[in-house]
Amino acid sequence: MNTLFERLYGHEAQAVYFAPGRVNLIGEHTDYNGGFVFPCAINFGTRLTIAPNQDRCLRFRSVNMEPVVELPIDQCFAPLPDRCWVNYPLGCIAQLATLAGGLPMGYDMLFEGNVPLGAGLSSSASIEVVTAYAFSCLLGKNLSLIEIAKVAQHSEHSFAGVQCGIMDQFVAANGRQDHALFLNCDTLEFMQVPIRLDGVAIVITNSHSPHRLDSGTYNERVRACQKAVECIRKEKEIEYLAQLSPEDFARVQHTLTDAELLRRARHVVSETQRTREAVQALQQGDLNTFGLLMNASHRSLRDDYEVTGVELDTLVEAAWQTAGVLGSRMTGGGFGGCTVSLVREDAIEAFKKQVSRVYTEKTGLTAEFYIARTSDGVHIVRNAN
């Protein structure tokens, strides 16, 4: 009895799976608008250790989330109240159980996550994807990684109540070490783009801000974009905002008489274009252009999409003032959470010092820094059989 799983459950594990979190380099709030995103999977993630039990119940434990939950296997089809963390895995198990015509037995599960919670690095997607993948394997369904991402996204919609796009779940499933994933969220076509950053690091800065992107604010942005599409349809038949080129947008923007809707739509169109250009720049080894596009992305999220706030703006603006920083922006849904910066390796220590000082002076909070290491998407770590 030496592993944590064995100590908690009193028997051996059958298998261990891992799914990563992600950092999005550029392409923010574009996924649910049919646009492009460019995230990479990171080495923070969630490990799921699992074994069948003879009690016909599902047991959920996490090393970093409460409570412990136990459910009979025929009660896995409805979400739990009070925003319980178990809804993330449960929504995936419900779908796999439906596909398999029910669960043949119960399972004991232990989730061990090291993605900072609520930091915009997709801790929830890593839990969903690792669960969807594990149950797809255990129930012999062998879904493709794209199907796994869709199951995980559906769980977020129907069990967690967030009408999210597919970026987080897609990269947690399909990410590849040393690559960023260029994804067309309309067609789900994607390309793995090698990240060659000679002498430059991807630095993630956690604001530890108490402001969270809650499901209400997120879903409100999703609805604003749908409304903008309805207005533009009077002039041009579109399904998603990201179908508009900047030139198309200039022609139809007069249909957006509400100034707020105009700003929201302008962000989506400009961000989609920036993401295209940023991927090209990276492919050509032009990190300076990539950095400038990151900065423009942040300004657009701050001024047009209005999802930044004083903490993220302070971190990014302090980074912009620091020598050796090629670009910096908020990453993820926004409000609290993290920023992502491209920093020359020899400037990292000065960057941390400068950004920490300015941030604490202005907000009274303490920033935390991680050097991002890329990772592969979901996979099995160990199988006892």
Catalytic residues: 168
Select 103 or 378, whichever has its Cβ closest to ligand GLA.
Answer: 378
Q: Are 124 and 160 in contact (CB under 8 A)?
A: yes
Strands (E), the chain: 15-24, 36-37, 39-53, 57-62, 69-72, 106-113, 179-184, 190-194, 200-206, 325-331, 338-344, 368-371, 379-383
For residue 108 the two structure tokens come to: 């004991």
Give the full edge-to-edge strand order of the sheet including 69-72: 69-72, 57-62, 106-113, 39-53, 15-24, 379-383
CB neighbours (10 Å) of residue 340?
27
Minimum CB separation from ligand GLA for residue 251, in Å? 26
Q: What value does the CA radius of gyration of the chain take, rounded to a whole number of Å?
A: 21
Select 332 or 377, whichever has its Cβ closest to ligand GLA.
Answer: 332
CA angle 381, 382, 385 (to 5 degrees): 150
Minimum CB separation from ligand GLA for residue 193, in Å? 18
Q: How far apart are CA 381 and CA 19, in angstroms?
A: 10
Minimum CB separation from ligand GLA for residue 347, in Å? 27
Select 45 or 333, whichever has its Cβ closest to ligand GLA.
Answer: 333
Q: How far apart are CA 321 and CA 216, in angstroms?
A: 34
Minimum CB separation from ligand GLA for residue 370, in Å? 17
Minimum CB separation from ligand GLA for residue 134, in Å? 21
**Cβ partners under 8 Å of residue 348, min gap 6:** 201, 203, 324, 371
Q: In one letter, which amino acid is 77?
A: F
- Bridge partners of 53, per DSSP, are 106
Select 34 or 333, whichever has its Cβ closest to ligand GLA.
Answer: 333
Q: In one letter, which amino acid is 358?
A: V
CB neighbours (10 Å) of residue 335?
22
- The residues that touch ligand GLA, with contacts defined as CB under 6 A, are 28-29, 31-32, 164-165, 167-168, 332-333
Minimum CB separation from ligand GLA for residue 3, in Å? 32
Cα separations in angstroms, 274 against 68, 116, 181, 353: 44, 28, 15, 30
Select 49 or 270, whichever has its Cβ closest to ligand GLA.
Answer: 270
Minimum CB separation from ligand GLA for residue 222, in Å? 8
Select 164 or 367, whichever has its Cβ closest to ligand GLA.
Answer: 164
**Backbone φ and ψ of 315, nearest 5°:** -60, -45
Q: In one letter, which amino acid is 33?
A: N
Q: How far apart are CA 347 and CA 249, in angstroms?
A: 40
Task: Tell me how far apart the terminal alpha carbons of the chain are, to the nearest angstrom.
Answer: 19
Select 164 or 241, whichever has its Cβ closest to ligand GLA.
Answer: 164
Select 14 or 169, whichever has its Cβ closest to ligand GLA.
Answer: 169
Residue with tokens 């300004």: 299
